[in-house]
Amino acid sequence: MADLLGEENGKRKTMVLLNQYKKQGFEPTSSTLTVMSRSISNLKDLQFWQKTLRVDIETEVFAHLIRNARTPFHALAAYRNALQYTPPTLTLLHPLIKYLQNTNHGKPSKETIDTALRMHATYVTSRNESGAGLDLEQPRKTSELVTYNILLRMLSSSSLADTYTSQTLDLVQEIRNRGLQMSGPVTASLIITLMKSSTKLQDAFQFYRIAYKDREGRLLLESSENFAHVIKAFTDLPFANGLASVAYHFDFIQDIRDAKLPLTAEIYTILLKYYARSAIGLPENDSSTRQKLATVIRRLHDMITVDASLVPDIAMWNQLMDSYQRVGYFQDAIQLWKTMFIARKFDHASVSVVTDACAFAGAHQVAVDIYKQLHEAQFRLNRRNWINWLECLCRLGKFDEALKFVCLQMGKDEHSVAPDADVVKLMLKFAIQENRVGEARTKLKTYLPDVWNSLPKDIKNF
């Protein structure tokens, strides 16, 4: 019958079927209405079927009604109507909070958030007055925790998240006081949610410190992987930039060590990437900040070197090399590349990183030697590597060499790839800087007619 209700003319079809069942001796019960309510979305229809079946309404019926509601107004109406039959329960509150969270494309308004907090507060008051202590059964503990998490995500996703700091802290304290045991991934998710609701590094880190252990001081994050998720979220905060985060990063590291967990390659990579990003856009004359960033990078490098438990991966070495070149420490980047090359611990991304390093350091001969070594080692470069090589040549004032390679050599042997539209666009971009657009266009059109003809008109008329 529940399926019939969802169809066109569902009410009439269901009545026909119900009458047929009754003629065969069927007697509706409250469970009948509960099953049917999976396809009921408003109070008017619910009241009709309750009157027709002549049964009592179970709490789960209103939970279905809330989930099926077409608007927040209808969901709240169903919830309030339910309170005429039963005190606030998780069975009712959870679907309501979840429904409100998803309003406005997952960006609930202040009014919606305030309503959700008010409904939750009413539930908490009722729960406490009923004497529901801390010895809850696990399913109910899980439901409570999920509801708290939804509320916290609502607060953090709001454009006014910073105005809900006190409410956020209150919810976290309730979780702790209730003794709700969170798994490592859930704890990490909670901490990330809290950090995103903050507007200052100090507040974000304080949220982490409040939640990463339970009341007895037991670690809740459980693993290095969960720490990595939290650290990445911290480094990605829009107000986390430059040297202001250094002390917090090493506090994270100390917490991991105190927990006797390994500092993984992933964690090092996240931190190194942050410092590389912090160097981007620095003024040319800001050597002081670059040097300080380089000092932190070198400190992390030293830690990597002496960490006997670390299992390095190529992604970490690539990021370390990139971090050095971003702060202008070209020799450190090249020395690391040499070590990686000798140990055969490199990949295509490594080649792109070291090529960029040569380009920005003005080290043409070093780049030539590296590509010669790669050729002798029979390392097959990919498309991205060849584009990096061309860009390197152009940045180093070797536009003629790059254009000649594209027109006469690229794709002519098994070691290179054929030039494509992106290669042509790259050459035209640098041709503008060289004030040689006409010459470049003519040569590219002559030697690469198929690629040229595939270009959009706006590119051809560059």
Task: Please report, for the chain, the start and end positions of each structural domain, with discontinuous segments joined by +.
Answer: 182-259, 262-361, 380-462
**Among candidates 34, 36, 32, 42, which has minimal Cα distance to 5?**
36
The pLDDT tens digits for 408-455 are 999 888 778 999 999 999 999 999 999 999 999 999 999 999 999 888
The answer to whether residue 25 scores a pLDDT higher than 90 is no
**What tens digit of pLDDT does each residue of 120-150 get?**
999 999 888 876 544 455 556 778 888 988 8
Residue 1's pLDDT band (cuts 50, 70, 90): low
* C-beta separation of 151 from 120 below 8 A: yes
Residue 243 has pLDDT above 70, yes or no: yes
Output the pLDDT for position 135: 46
Q: Is 9 left (phi over 0), alpha (psi -120 to 50) or beta?
A: left
Residue 357: closest CA among 398, 314, 392: 392
Q: 131, exposed or middle or buried, with CB in 10 Å at 0-12, 13-18, 19+?
A: exposed
- The per-residue pLDDT for 360 is 94
Cβ atoms within 10 A of the Cβ of 204, count?
23
**Mean pLDDT in the chain?**
89
Q: Examine the pLDDT at 270 and tell me if it is beyond 80.
A: yes
Which distant-in-sequence residues (6+ apart) come within 8 Å of 341 by Cβ? 373, 377
Six token digits for residue 172: 């976290």
State percent of the chain over pLDDT 90.
Answer: 60
| The pLDDT of residue 220 is above 80 | yes
For 5, 56, 293, 362, 389, the CA distances from 382, given in Å and listed in that order, are: 58, 70, 32, 23, 11
pLDDT at 78: 93
Q: What's the alpha-carbon Rg for the chain, to the nearest Å? A: 32
pLDDT in tens, 30-81: 898 888 888 888 888 888 888 888 888 888 999 999 999 999 999 999 999 9
Task: Report the candidate in 136, 137, 145, 143 with the shortest Cα–Cα distance to residue 183.
Answer: 145
What's the predicted TM-score (pTM) here? 0.78
Of the given ranges (195-199, 235-239, 381-385, 439-443), which has the lowest mean pLDDT? 195-199
What's the pLDDT tens digit per position in 317-342? 999 999 999 999 999 999 999 999 99
pLDDT of residue 2: 52
